[in-house]
Structure 1
Amino acid sequence: MIRTLIAAAMATLFAAGTAGAQDFPNRPVTLVIPFSAGGSTDLVGRLIAERMSAELGQPVVVENKGGAGGNLGAAQVAKATPDGYTILMGTVATHALNPTLYKKMPYDPVTSFAPVSLLVIVPNVLVVHPDFPAKTTEELIALLKKDPDKYSYASSGNGTPLHLSGELFKSMAGVDMQHIPYQGAGPALIDVLSGQVPIMFDNLPSSTGHIKSGKLRALGVTTAKRAPSFPDLPAIAEAVPGYETYTWNAVFAPAGTPPEVVAKLNAAANKALEDPKVQARLADFSAVSVGSTPEELGEHVKKEIAKWAPIVKASGAQLD
């Protein structure tokens, strides 16, 4: 009798879960962006969230939760109810850099999440305040070698892709400058725009408008080749052979999210990337639209961890 009751209860729960997955979504979905507003991840996230809302028939509400290099926001999603109503805009930081950078992680980048879709690959860019004397990467290198203790550069935080872009540049160019970490790209950008810090490695999307308006001077992009939206802007690799960094954005759900729900989120994300208006906006700041299956994103994360782990270790960056 007891076995029969247990079996019946389990069947009821399974049926309820299946029905819930089939009805998904019947209320707003929260997209957690693990960085402050104004940065590249925020720009891409809000653009995709708006289009996903139309596809899902429910609002996709953006929630910025910055801190600990993206770990706070990512951990919030990892611990959320796995029903698809709380999802993450993951990045190379949350899923490839932080596992090596931090001594203790509040989540596992592979087992704590259900991959949904890789969205875009984003170039970084080396920018300076317009009053800064260097107008090219070569001139910056010469300036830094002449006065190695004089200049500083801003980034979105210790161990972030932008910080590591700067450290890799210092190492490969044979120069030195002080690193000034911020709690996100947005606050760092404010101080560079005001002239408080003269140099910054930023994501190209968040600096594009300021570069075009003349509020920032771009010296080079961090990808191996020039960005399509700035064909006249050299790649840093043209002055420092072999130099290359970039970031990426992807959607993740908590581990244990029903496959049917993951499939609906994946379809909405990929449909959003196909929208001509979204593609045009992404092209404006040279974010390369990718799209993927959940399985492809899972493999991408594993490859990125293997790629970045030795680079993080070589940088000497380590956080508690």
Structure 2
Amino acid sequence: MTRFLVTCLAACTVAFGALGQPQPYPAKPVKVVVPFAPGGGSDIAARALTAKLQESLGQPFIIENRGGAGGMVGMEIAAKSPNDGYTILIMSDSFPVIAATHKPAWDPVNSLVAVSQVSVAPFGLIVHPSVPANTVAEFIALAKSKPGAFSYGSSGNGGLTHLITEMFTQMADIKLVHVPYKSTGAALPDFLSGTIQVYVGNVSPLLPNIQSGKLKLIAVTSAERWPLLPNVPTIGETLPGFAADPWFGVFTPRGTPQPIIDKLNAAINKLKDDEDVKKNYIGQGMLPRAGTPAQFDAIVRKDYARWSKVVADIGFKPAD
């Protein structure tokens, strides 16, 4: 009997010892906050990524679309979640734009930690066919000859399309009239009719209209020519120093343990060359990207500084 009890106690000690050890991350489902409605760029990027993360890490990655206030609602929810790795944020570079334009008290740039860039998707300088210009240089010359004669649409005051266009007008030293809309889709009918003549925004949804000749793509905003549109020049080829490379990326709340951040980063980096991910992103006009947390953090902070300067230069106030 004594020998039997000793054996049982030993077995129980091993069992409880094993149970007492922390299980490898992730040991339960991970909540993925997307701070915009389903169907947008952040949502598309998130769904392509999370399906593969679920496969590679062995736990469900459950998307929660928490839209509102241009992305601030979802960002704050993520920032104030437990920093245990079980809440992540997937968002576009509206992140540093919101930080620059609204400067919320909880400080997005320092409340959320950059894990990895996920993809990039440059914007295009697109004009209505009624605008007699086919290059950036021609458009700048035309706009200088007719100050305020052309209007541009944006997805809203203080949004990324607004700030990129304002950066362009500043560097080109031209005057365009800003017409804010609630979304890109809301601006499209007026753009196609010629009510507004200029738009700097995501190329992909407008490609059918560009290919049919209803709109003209003059240039892309990226620092280098876009591999998917190699014959389209960059704005920077005419205005040296101009570059805006919109991105999507993953963040966690400040204080998330570094081993968890590193594990998520490694899993995301492996997906950069995944054929399903590449096919999905290319279909949306995006290309996969990756890199270290430090590299992504540097991108976020550089963009925050850039948009803070533009905001100051144009005198933007959130209530505008």
Query: Into which bin does the TM-score normalised by the smaller protein fall?
Result: 0.7 to 0.9
**Shift of residue 74, structure 1, vs aligned partner:** 0.9
**Shift of residue 110, structure 1, vs aligned partner:** 3.7
CA separation of 1:306 and 1:23: change in aligned 2, threshold 3 A: closer
**Shift of residue 169, structure 1, vs aligned partner:** 1.6
Partner of 1:45: 46
1:213-232 correspondence to structure 2 within 5 Å: 216-232=215-231
What is the TM-score when the length of structure 1 is the normalising length? 0.78
Q: Deviations over 1:41-88 (max 9, x none)?
A: 343333223322322334434344444343222112112233333321
Q: What is the rounded CA distance, in whole Å, between the counterparts of 2:178 and 2:63 in structure 1?
A: 30
**Shift of residue 167, structure 1, vs aligned partner:** 0.6
* Aligned partners of 2:75 and 2:108 also within 8 Å: no
Shift >6 Å, 4+ stretches: 15-18
Partner of 2:314: 315
Q: What is the rounded CA distance, in whole Å, between the counterparts of 1:37 and 1:110 in structure 2?
A: 24
Q: What is the rounded CA distance, in whole Å, between the counterparts of 1:17 and 1:71 in structure 2?
A: 39
Which residue identity does 2:80 align to in structure 1?
A: K
Partner of 1:11: none
Residue 101 in 1 paired to residue 96 in 2? no
**Shift of residue 301, structure 1, vs aligned partner:** 3.1
**Shift of residue 205, structure 1, vs aligned partner:** 4.3
Instruction: Determine helix, strand or coil for the equivalent of 2:261.
Output: helix
Q: What is the rounded CA distance, in whole Å, between the counterparts of 2:194 and 2:317 in structure 1?
A: 29
Cα RMSD after superposing both structures:
3.3
Of structures 1 and 2, the larger Rg is shown by 2
* % same residue: 38
Partner of 2:155: 156
Q: What is the rounded CA distance, in whole Å, between the counterparts of 1:265 and 1:240 in structure 2?
A: 38
Which residue identity does 2:108 align to in structure 1?
A: P
Q: What is the rounded CA distance, in whole Å, between the counterparts of 1:154 and 1:261 in structure 2?
A: 41
Partner of 2:236: 237
Q: What is the rounded CA distance, in whole Å, between the counterparts of 1:215 and 1:54 in structure 2?
A: 42
**Shift of residue 302, structure 1, vs aligned partner:** 3.4
Q: Deviations over 1:106-140 (max 9, x none)?
A: 53234312332122333221123456554433443
CA separation of 1:23 and 1:220: change in aligned 2, threshold 3 A: closer
Query: Number of paired residues?
Result: 302
1:265-280 correspondence to structure 2 within 5 Å: 265-280=264-279
Residue 70 in 1 paired to residue 71 in 2? yes
CA separation of 1:215 and 1:51: change in aligned 2, threshold 3 A: farther
* Aligned partners of 1:124 and 1:202 also within 8 Å: yes
Which residue identity does 1:229 align to in structure 2?
A: L
Q: Deviations over 1:237-296 (max 9, x none)?
A: 334343222222210112233444434432332222220232344456664533123344
Q: What is the rounded CA distance, in whole Å, between the counterparts of 1:136 and 1:119 in structure 2?
A: 31
Instruction: Determine helix, strand or coil for the equivalent of 1:62.
Output: strand
**Shift of residue 170, structure 1, vs aligned partner:** 1.4
CA separation of 1:214 and 1:270: change in aligned 2, threshold 3 A: farther
What is the TM-score when the length of structure 2 is the normalising length? 0.78
Q: What is the rounded CA distance, in whole Å, between the counterparts of 1:122 and 1:237 in structure 2?
A: 16
**Shift of residue 214, structure 1, vs aligned partner:** 5.1
* Aligned partners of 1:124 and 1:246 also within 8 Å: yes
* Aligned partners of 1:208 and 1:285 also within 8 Å: no
Q: Unaligned stretches of 5+ in structure 1?
A: 1-14
CA separation of 1:152 and 1:58: change in aligned 2, threshold 3 A: farther
1:179-190 correspondence to structure 2 within 5 Å: 179-189=178-188
